[in-house]
Amino acid sequence: MGYSKDELIGKSHTLIRHPDMPHIAFQEMWNRLSSGKRWSGHIKNLHKDGSHSWVLADIIAKYDEKGNITGYIASRRSPGANLLEMKKQYKKFKDYELKHRQSA
């Protein structure tokens, strides 16, 4: 992705969020994770040079001994066969968000 470890460690994941990603995708992800549920989905990442790549991410919450969420564990792999369909769905979400942001 072109970033050094120092550029990423301790930074928000939004640093690599591609602007094409609909906000609702991340809203749904955080809703699931904060309620203790696993989240799996496609993510379009932005590279430092402006290019991008898609990953299929699987994220779970990490807990302390009292059951409090202390962080998250994510694994990433190459996108599955349904990536094309997900791209279409994300585009619909993003178009909707842009249309309603302009009219607000």
> Is the pTM for the entire model greater than 0.85?
no
Task: State the Cα–Cα distance between residues 100 and 103, nearest whole angstrom.
Answer: 5
- Residue 19, domain extent: 5-103
Nearest Cα residue to 80 out of 42, 45, 46: 42
The model's pLDDT over 38-61, given as tens digits with 9 standing for 90+, comes to 999 999 999 999 999 999 999 999
Give yes or no for a contact between 59 and 77, defined as CB atoms under 8 angstroms apart. no
Which pLDDT value is given to residue 44? Answer: 93
State the total domains in the chain. Answer: 1
The CATH code of the domain that includes 57 is: 3.30.450.20
Is residue 104 over pLDDT 60? no
The label of the residue with tokens 């991340």 reads 26
